[in-house]
């Protein structure tokens, strides 16, 4: 029978990979053109990238070239992930002279070296979690199974978040907007008539300040003219179903209506004696929510944020500033509201209690601020 031999550095590298993936929730990165290097990322950790380098570093010049390559790749990672600073921990397993290394470098040639203070200061449980009684192929198989199980669990979680769910709430909101639009013609003088709009609950600063607070909410479902309705319903259909699917129905309702009310509040702050209506403030809130979600998943959605979400927000705000008859204050109010409300309710699979509490505080401060601005 032929024996399968594993080199000690193979076991060491596998042990480190197993720890960072299964215990610290790092994910493998695909970096083309590099040999004998493993890159792992977790944008929620102090060290956003862990780099395990197993090729031999002969001298200082080779290490300097290695750092030059590292800098080039990190610049690309910063652009993709919208990160101002990306700390990288480089773990070298084969270097001629460890005195070449900097503060963010660690030299580990055997498993006993894992107790290096540079590692244990950041990852206190790394020594205990990498201890093992198995040897050779038995340990290799165990680590492989652990990594596969972790990746499978992450895959199921991602599938749960990103899988399609029927957007019942979005359809319901669209139906209500369309029914009310038709009702303004059946029971009033149409969607462009001021008195009809006001009787159905359109927003007007004088009436809201006089005690008719409900208008901040009811105006979300009213639209002025058929093109206003069509544009908003199309936008709601395209964006709303995504947010409803990603966040879930309850969080979606909180984000949509909360953003709409924030938009209405900022609208009466900057527009006076002007009747306003429409779901665009709430829709901008959904865009803000999508932007916030994309930031948390920026390792995967970085290109979509740059090429789709940000340009859509920028173009629509620009059109609002350049055109008359568009309530850009409501758009901005809803956009900011969508971001802070998304922080409050949390991004599935990413946000913790600390994020939710911070989001709740920011949401309360934001609402108090725009209420003060609106009713002062």
CA 55 to chain centre: 35
Using only C-alpha atoms, what is the Rg of the chain? 27
Residues 273, 236, single domain; the answer is yes
Task: Name the more confident of 29 and 210.
Answer: 210
For 252-319, give the secondary structure using H, E and C.
Answer: HHHHHHHHHHHHHHHHHHHCCCCCECCCHHHHHHHHHHHHHHHHHCHHHHHHHHHHHHHHHHHHHHHH
* Cα separation values, 18 from 5, 41, 361, 368, Å: 20, 14, 38, 47
User: 271 in a domain, yes or no?
Assistant: yes
**Range of 143's domain?**
8-161
The answer to whether 308 is a known catalytic residue is no
Residues 63, 141, single domain; the answer is yes
Residues 12, 81, single domain; the answer is yes
Helix, strand or coil, per DSSP, at residue 104: coil
pLDDT tops 70 at residue 36: yes
Catalytic residue among 280, 289, 342, 351: 280
Residues 138, 212, single domain; the answer is no
User: 24 in a domain, yes or no?
Assistant: yes
Highest mean pLDDT (candidates 49-58, 214-223, 345-354): 214-223
DSSP conformation letters of 196-212: HHHHHT-B-HHHHHTT-
Residues 174, 62, single domain; the answer is no
Residues 288, 191, single domain; the answer is yes
User: 312 in a domain, yes or no?
Assistant: yes
> Average pLDDT, whole number, for the chain?
87
Residues 38, 183, single domain; the answer is no
The answer to whether 331 is a known catalytic residue is yes
User: 1 in a domain, yes or no?
Assistant: no
Percent with pLDDT over 90 in the chain:
45
192 vs 323: CA distance, rounded Å: 18
As given in the structure block, the two tokens for residue 146 are: 């652990």
Residues 244, 350, single domain; the answer is yes
Domain boundary among 132, 161, 190: 161
pLDDT tops 80 at residue 182: yes
What's the pLDDT tens digit per position in 304-315? 676 777 888 888
Q: What is the pLDDT of residue 4?
A: 38
Angle at 204 (CA atoms; ends 202, 207), nearest 5 degrees: 105
User: 2 in a domain, yes or no?
Assistant: no
344 vs 363: CA distance, rounded Å: 7
Highest mean pLDDT (candidates 120-124, 281-285, 353-357): 281-285
What's the pLDDT tens digit per position in 129-171? 888 777 777 877 888 888 888 888 888 887 888 788 899 999 9
Residues 34, 127, single domain; the answer is yes
Q: What is the pLDDT of residue 299?
A: 67
**Phi, psi dihedral angles at 350 (to 5 degrees):** -130, -50
| CATH number of residue 178's parent domain | 1.20.1540.10
What's the pLDDT tens digit per position in 329-350? 999 999 999 999 999 999 988 8
Catalytic residue among 289, 331, 342, 351: 331
User: 228 in a domain, yes or no?
Assistant: yes
As given in the structure block, the two tokens for residue 259 are: 């953003």
Q: How confident is the model at residue 5 (pLDDT cuts 50, 70, 90)?
A: very low
User: 319 in a domain, yes or no?
Assistant: yes
178 vs 188: CA distance, rounded Å: 15
Residues 297, 194, single domain; the answer is yes
Q: What is the pLDDT of residue 55?
A: 84
Residues 204, 256, single domain; the answer is yes
Mean of pLDDT values over 85-103 = 86
Q: How confident is the model at residue 193 (pLDDT cuts 50, 70, 90)?
A: very high
Residues 155, 180, single domain; the answer is no
Q: What is the pLDDT of residue 1?
A: 34
- Structural domains of the chain, count: 2
User: 3 in a domain, yes or no?
Assistant: no
Domain boundary among 121, 136, 161: 161
Domain boundary among 107, 136, 161: 161
Mean of pLDDT values over 72-91 = 84
């Amino acid at each position: 029978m032929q024996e399968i031999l594993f080199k000690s550095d193979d076991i060491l590298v596998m042990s480190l990979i197993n720890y960072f993936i299964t215990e610290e929730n790092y994910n493998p990165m695909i970096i083309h053109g590099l040999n004998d290097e493993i890159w792992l990322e977790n944008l929620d950790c102090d060290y956003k990238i862990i780099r395990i380098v197993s090729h031999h570093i002969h001298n200082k010049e080779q290490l300097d070239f290695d750092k030059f390559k590292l800098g080039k790749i990190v610049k690309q990672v910063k652009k993709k992930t919208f990160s101002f600073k990306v700390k990288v921990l480089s773990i070298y397993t084969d270097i001629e002279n460890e005195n070449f290394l900097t503060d963010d470098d660690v030299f580990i040639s055997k498993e006993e070296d894992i107790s290096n203070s540079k590692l244990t200061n950041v990852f206190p449980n790394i020594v205990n979690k990498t201890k093992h009684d198995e040897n050779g192929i038995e340990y290799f198989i165990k680590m492989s199974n652990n990594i596969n199980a972790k990746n499978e669990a992450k895959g199921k979680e991602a599938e749960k978040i990103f899988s399609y769910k029927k957007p019942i709430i979005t359809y319901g909101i669209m139906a209500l907007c369309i029914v009310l639009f038709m009702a303004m013609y059946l029971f009033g003088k149409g969607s462009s008539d001021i008195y009809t709009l006001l009787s159905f609950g359109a927003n007007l600063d004088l009436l809201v300040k006089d005690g008719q607070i409900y208008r901040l909410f009811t105006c979300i479902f009213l639209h002025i003219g058929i093109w206003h309705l069509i544009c908003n319903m199309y936008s709601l259909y395209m964006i709303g179903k995504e947010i409803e699917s990603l966040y879930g129905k309850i969080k979606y309702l909180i984000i949509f209506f909360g953003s709409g009310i924030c938009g209405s509040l900022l609208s009466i702050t900057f527009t006076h004696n002007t009747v306003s209506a429409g779901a665009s403030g709430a829709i901008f809130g959904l865009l803000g929510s999508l932007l916030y979600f994309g930031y948390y998943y920026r390792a995967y959605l970085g290109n979509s944020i740059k090429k789709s979400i940000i340009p859509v927000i920028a173009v629509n705000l620009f059109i609002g500033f350049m055109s008359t008859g568009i309530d850009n204050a409501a758009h901005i109010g809803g956009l900011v509201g969508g971001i802070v409300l998304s922080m409050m309710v949390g991004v599935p699979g990413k946000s913790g209690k600390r994020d939710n509490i911070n989001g709740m505080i920011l949401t309360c401060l934001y609402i108090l601020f725009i209420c003060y601005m609106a009713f002062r």
